[in-house]
Amino acid sequence: MFSLAHLSDLHLGPLPEGAARRHFALKRSIGAANWRLRRHKQHDPAVAAAMAMDIRAANPDHVACTGDIVNVAAHAEFPAAAAWLADFGPPDWISFVPGNHDTYVRLSWENGLVHLAPYMDGDMKVRLTQTSHQIATPFPYVRLRRNVALIGLCSGEPQNLFKAAGRLGETQLESLASLLRDLRERGYARVLMIHHPPLPGLASPRKALVDAGPLRDLLVREGAELALHGHNHEPMLTPLETRFGLLNVMGVPSASIARPTHHPAAAWNNYRITRSSGKWLTQVTVRGWNDEHRHMETSDEFALST
């Protein structure tokens, strides 16, 4: 059995003092104002800390964090996020992929995501990858853990003022197709990690993955066992029929929301992946935040089959 924890959308606060003033960008300033007026009431650092403690107590084999660890991509947010992750666990135990808030505005690698680079390093040689001015670690990346292959995809890129969409691009899509074929032939359970929901219709056009259609078609052709995402701040399970069986696409709520209002309270998923009679089986335990008692508790358990 291989156990995998999945959390997303930490939106770690508070915002550093002067985050929007020091390195001005209009979108960052609007986002910072939104944080001060509304979002800081939703995202509680104490809830994120309790979730990290709960995951460490469960002692999974690995952790997938699917983006939006910061809020407005202020320079000072990234060292703080790196310190939070370092306290959570080592880079070989945690895999991270960037979300739209991690790439909120155009920002050089050296002033931003470089601080999270150890959590985005693969340990398998990937022939075709992409980098950018903003993200210098190659994507996709692959981490092999026993009989599970964790494939990190980057859907975060700077967007216009009122958009939160994402894009993979032709290079990542082409690379992913060959990786899925190779890893299936080698007998791995293939787990995708991406911030935006990877299928059409799972997010509004303003917030959706632009190339979700081509990605869906690729997944139908090549198959995979599990796809993990965040972005919507909602628990989601979307099955997709592929040539090689059922792909379960799983989304989780924000990891720092204390009280359910527009979105449910924080939760993380624990996947226990096994192989039986030639099929991959996954048991899922959902651990959710109980704000009345201020602790994490099991809120659901169910099985997935491919």
**Tally of domains within the chain:** 1
Domain range holding 52? Answer: 2-305
| Predicted pLDDT at 162 | 87
- What is d(CA 108, CA 114) in angstroms, rounded to the nearest whole number? 9
Tens digits of pLDDT across the chain (306 residues)? 999 999 999 999 998 887 777 777 889 889 888 888 888 889 999 999 999 999 999 999 999 999 999 999 999 999 999 999 999 999 999 999 999 999 999 999 999 999 999 999 999 999 999 999 999 999 999 999 999 999 999 999 999 988 999 999 999 999 999 999 999 999 999 999 999 999 999 999 999 999 999 999 999 999 999 999 999 999 999 999 999 999 999 999 999 999 888 899 999 999 999 998 888 999 999 999 999 999 999 999 999 977
Q: What is the pTM of this model?
A: 0.96
The first and second tokens of residue 181, run together, are: 């074929």
The first and second tokens of residue 206, run together, are: 């303003």
Tell me the DSSP string of 88-136.
Answer: H--TTTEEE---TTTTSS---GGGTGGGGGGGG--SS--SS-B--SS--
| Predicted pLDDT at 15 | 86
* 189-193 and 226-229 beta bridge pairing: parallel
Instruction: Read off the pLDDT of residues 76-105 as tens digits, 9 standing for 90 and up.
Output: 999 999 999 999 999 999 999 999 999 999
Report the length, in residues, of the chain.
306
Say which CATH number the domain at 65 has.
3.60.21.10
With CA atoms as reference, report the closest residue to 195 among 230, 220, 246. 230
